[in-house]
Amino acid sequence: MNMVGQTLSRLGESGLYVLSDLGRMSLFLLNSLRGIFIRPFRWAELIKQIQFVGAGSFWVIFFTAISTGMALGLQGYYSLSKFGAEGMLGSAVSLSLVMELGPVLTALMVAGRAGSAMCAEIGIMRISEQIDALECMAINPYRFVVSPKFLATIISVPLLTALFDLVGIMGGYLTGVILMGVNPGSYQQGMEVSVTNHDIQLGIIKSFVFALLVVWISTGRGYFVHQIRGAGFGAESVSRVTTQAVVLSSIAVLIFNYLLTAIIL
Amino acid sequence: MSGLPISFAGVSKSFSSRGGISQVVLDRVSFSIAAGKTTVIAGGSGQGKSVTLKLILRLMMADEGHIHVGDVDVGNATGTALTSLRTRFGVLFQGAALFDSMTVFDNVALPLRERTSDSEQLVAEKVMQTLARLELAGHEKKFPAQLSGGMQKRVGLARALQLKPEILLFDEPTTGLDPVMKHDIYDLFAATHEKHGYTAVIVSHDIPKIFTLADQVIFLHNGTVDVFDDVDNVYSTEIKYLREYIDKTR
């Protein structure tokens, strides 16, 4: 086969691989969502996962939010003071956080902290035949392993996003009002006047979608660790796929952030 | 005997690698495994021994041919039929496949909690009985990482026996164990087989020791099978690859 033929053959092979991977991941998503409704429900596992994804991410989210809010406060004050519009600081900080930074940064933090751990855990279960063992015992591995993680992430991420927004706004208040001397009343009023229900709804919708993307990609990569081309074998495959899961879910969050903003705004 | 028979009829399985080259693991193979008997599947590395087990369990699908477990066509079993079929199996995996985050008790109790409506008290009774029978009493609160390899295999066997399977599949049950632990596992196998009468399929490299347990031996080589219903005939075979294999492993 000549070089052109070989190139076309490889392109075709890669195309088929991408299609089969997409199909596999789509079925995985359906089975994982369906698993949420199959009885008996694993309440204890759900609570454990909420504790891990939600409560366990509290301080990461807190410090990311406070530093982001404080930086926004300073940056906003610097920019707005050029036009004599320091009074708009509350509005600028809160809108940035509620509509964009809150949902996006929360999802990225959860992807890095909990998504990577979920991917590695399921990947290890796969290569050590624990998932095969579940199937052999006629136990649905989606219901048993994956679905509680799905539900926990879908519950936790919007709550963490709300926490991020609140702490971020407080951070903006610290630098804008306490440090730079913006009037506290105008900071609060600017926030109340400019942030509408529609803006909050956009933030909530984003946080749900990002939660689904992060948990889907993270658990799915781990579940199919043995079928991912170029991932290698054994422990190496788990480490590579974990990195891949964090990168892919972060990229997906950023792409969907733009798409959702463009569609809903 | 309460075991179930297994049959392969014209079964093929191949894997395609990058570049489009396919590796044929099973090439239209046919054989039968009798109910209640012990069959050893042997062969070199990469000859499809574990694939054969996965095909029986429908963890993989055959490219062609039919696999029957009892009167169920494994390839056509889906949904509740597949669930019902799998409840008739017990599997002891090469690495035991215990759940790291669960105690020994919870690992062994898992199939009872998930697949039966037994009360927690009854589950506890059954689990403790099984653990005692496999000399694991006193270890029920430990986690798998706190156990030796041999003990992990015993816990795996305890879990596999919980639902009184009609077929028990062993994937290299003694790999990585020292001779004493191997002996213990074989004794346990002999004792549980005599008590439960399940159909046993053992994938093993432990030749010739494993032959002492076998009623039938199946050798896999380059996609084909050679079946010996009398284990003694293995030693007198004139098949070249097999002769070399037996001589090297004795």
Evaluate whether residue B93 is within a structural domain: no
Evaluate whether residue B94 is within a structural domain: no
Residue B211's pLDDT band (boundaries 50, 70, 90)? confident
Evaluate whether residue B1 is within a structural domain: no
Name the average pLDDT for chain B. Answer: 87
Residue A234's pLDDT band (boundaries 50, 70, 90)? confident
Mutate to test the interface with B, among A45, A137, A227, A229 (most CBs of B within 10 A): A137
**CATH number of the CATH domain containing B43:** 3.40.50.300
Residue A4's pLDDT band (boundaries 50, 70, 90)? confident
**Inter-chain residue contact A136 with B110, CB threshold 8 Å:** no
Evaluate whether residue A145 is within a structural domain: yes
Report the first-to-last Cα separation within chain B, whole angstroms. Answer: 32
Using the predicted structure, report yes or no on whether residue B189 has a pLDDT greater than 60.
Answer: yes
Using the predicted structure, report yes or no on whether residue B1 has a pLDDT greater than 50.
Answer: no
Residues B76 and B189 in one domain: yes
B105/A contact by beta carbon, under 8 A: no
B141/A contact by beta carbon, under 8 A: no
The residue out of B137, B164, B191 marking a domain boundary is: B164
Mutate to test the interface with A, among B94, B99, B118 (most CBs of A within 10 A): B99
Report the pLDDT averaged over residues A127-138. Answer: 92
The residue out of B128, B145, B164 marking a domain boundary is: B164
Using the predicted structure, report yes or no on whether residue A1 has a pLDDT greater than 70.
Answer: no
Please give the full DSSP string across chain B, using - where no structure is assigned: -----EEEEEEEEEEE-TTS-EEEEEEEEEEEE-TT-EEEEEESTTSSHHHHHHHHHTSS--SEEEEEETTEEGGG--HHHHHHHHTTEEEE-TTTT--TTS-HHHHHHHHHHHH----HHHHHHHHHHHHHHTT-TT-TTS-GGGS-HHHHHHHHHHHHHTT--SEEEEESTTTT--HHHHHHHHHHHHHHHHHH--EEEEE---TTGGGGG-SEEEEEETTEEEEESSTHHHHT---HHHHHHHHHH-
**Inter-chain residue contact B59 with A128, CB threshold 8 Å:** no
Residues B83 and B171 in one domain: yes
**Inter-chain residue contact B93 with A9, CB threshold 8 Å:** no
Using the predicted structure, report yes or no on whether residue A233 has a pLDDT greater than 80.
Answer: no
Tokens of residue B31, six digits: 């054989």
Evaluate whether residue A218 is within a structural domain: yes
**Inter-chain residue contact A136 with B59, CB threshold 8 Å:** yes
A138/B contact by beta carbon, under 8 A: yes
Evaluate whether residue B66 is within a structural domain: yes
Q: What is the ipTM of this complex?
A: 0.85
What residue type is A149 in one-letter code?
K
Residues B13 and B126 in one domain: no
Residue A234 burial class via C-beta count within 10 angstroms: exposed 0-12, middle 13-18, buried 19 and up: exposed
Name the average pLDDT for chain A. Answer: 93
Residues B219 and B157 in one domain: no
Using the predicted structure, report yes or no on whether residue B2 has a pLDDT greater than 80.
Answer: no
Using the predicted structure, report yes or no on whether residue B89 has a pLDDT greater than 50.
Answer: yes
Report the pLDDT averaged over residues A82-109. Answer: 93
Domain with B193, as residue range(s), is 6-88+167-249
- Dihedral angle at the C-alpha atoms of A72, A78, A84, A86, nearest 10 degrees? 30
Contacts of A10 (CB under 8 A, 6+ apart): none
User: Which of these ranges, A43-47, A170-174, B55-59, B92-96, has the smallest mean pLDDT?
Assistant: B92-96
A5 vs A151 pLDDT, higher one: A151
**Which residue from A124, A136, A229 is facing B86, i.e. has the nearest CB?**
A136
Evaluate whether residue A111 is within a structural domain: yes
**Which residue from A130, A132, A137 is facing B114, i.e. has the nearest CB?**
A137
Using one digit for the tens of pLDDT, what is the confidence trace for A37-72? 998 888 999 999 999 999 999 999 999 999 999 999
Residues B145 and B219 in one domain: no
Q: pTM of this prediction?
A: 0.86
Residues B183 and B224 in one domain: yes
Report the pLDDT averaged over residues B108-128. Answer: 93
Evaluate whether residue A65 is within a structural domain: yes
What pLDDT is recorded for position B174? Answer: 84
Residues B121 and B230 in one domain: no
Using the predicted structure, report yes or no on whether residue A131 has a pLDDT greater than 90.
Answer: yes
What pLDDT is recorded for position A52? Answer: 96
Number of separate domains in chain A: 1
What pLDDT is recorded for position B193? Answer: 87
Residues B78 and B176 in one domain: yes
B231/A contact by beta carbon, under 8 A: no
The residue assigned the tokens 């092979």 is A13
The residue out of B164, B195, B220 marking a domain boundary is: B164
Report the pLDDT averaged over residues B15-22. Answer: 70
Residue A126's pLDDT band (boundaries 50, 70, 90)? very high
Using the predicted structure, report yes or no on whether residue B216 has a pLDDT greater than 50.
Answer: yes
CB pairs under 8 A between A and B: 54
Domain with A231, as residue range(s), is 41-264
Report the pLDDT averaged over residues B166-193. Answer: 84
What pLDDT is recorded for position B20? Answer: 62
Number of separate domains in chain B: 2
